[in-house]
Structure 1
């Protein structure tokens, strides 16, 4: 039986509707490649992110100097934490009449013994350490912690602060 032109067209149309569509992955792969390149180009390794806990409120500063990667001492209202481990409490530290805090010094010396040997420049400056101290801790406590770090040959001391924008108004007025 001979089919009319219209019947042939209808049959072709129904045949096209019954085809299972194929997913074209090429545009999707192109998008992911562009996204990866974008992330790689814009990834910055100049900034070290210091992990702080909610018990420490860092003081504000307009300093532009970026911190170096180093050992971190966290000092909050109650505890002294070195590299994520509690070393002692503020009450224990202030109860000692010595100018240093022995448990912190012992832990610093232990960590220094596990670290690789110092270069000549590092021997002159001492090992690097960053102190994340709450803005409300008294200077006397901070001084004792810094003296302990120096006694353990961690003389390159940095104090962590939160960056704020400098204002254009002169100081005192």
Structure 2
């Protein structure tokens, strides 16, 4: 029985390559390169908001985009730092203390983690965390009492966060 044309061409290729198998990865590498560029180009466009349904933000006419800071979210049930529940809203509101202890310990832990990460990455004194003004952004439901918001701001300030921003929704300037 004589080999067919496809078998002959396979044998010829094997003789030319010395019997080694070769895999052409150029097409696969092109696909992965395109995916990497796509994710790099569109990564900065995505903004994450923790518990967006649980917080109804007040509106503002501000046009400045927010900076990337530590986020404290105050919902009707919990106070969260970077999405992690650290205190109960009702207990914090009814507490006679002016500070929220769970929030304070979470903020101090976040500061020390940030400082340790900067030291590990070789941050220098001029550009590292030693010269940084610590910032925090508070996302509070517009229905929470100001007494609770005041406690959150006081706790943040006493934990060393010198700049406190309130997160708001941008209101449309079109009237009519």
TM-score, normalised relative to structure 1? 0.65
Over the aligned positions, Cα root-mean-square deviation in angstroms equals 2.8
Equivalent residues in 2 for 1:34-45, closer than 5 Å: 43=42, 45=44
**Alpha-carbon displacement from aligned partner over 1:68-127 (angstroms, at most 9, x marks no partner):** 11111110111111111111111221232221111110111111111125242x2xxx31
**Alpha-carbon displacement from aligned partner over 1:39-79 (angstroms, at most 9, x marks no partner):** 68974837744333311111111111111111111101111
Q: Is the 8 A contact 1:72 1:82 kept in 2?
A: yes
Gaps of 5+ in 2: 1-30, 116-127
Gaps of 5+ in 1: 1-31
57-66 or 47-56: bigger deviation: 47-56
Give secondary structure in 1 for the equivalent of 2:164.
strand
Partner residue in 2 for 1:118: 129
Aligned residues: 135
Which residue of 154, 168, 171 corresponds with 1:161? 168
C-alpha separation between the residues in 2 aligned to 1:158 and 1:58?
13
Give secondary structure in 2 for the equivalent of 1:115.
helix
Which residue of 108, 121, 138 corresponds with 1:131? 138
Equivalent residues in 2 for 1:12-91, closer than 5 Å: 43=42, 45=44, 48-91=47-90
C-alpha separation between the residues in 2 aligned to 1:80 and 1:40?
32
C-alpha separation between the residues in 2 aligned to 1:94 and 1:58?
19
C-alpha separation between the residues in 2 aligned to 1:61 and 1:147?
23
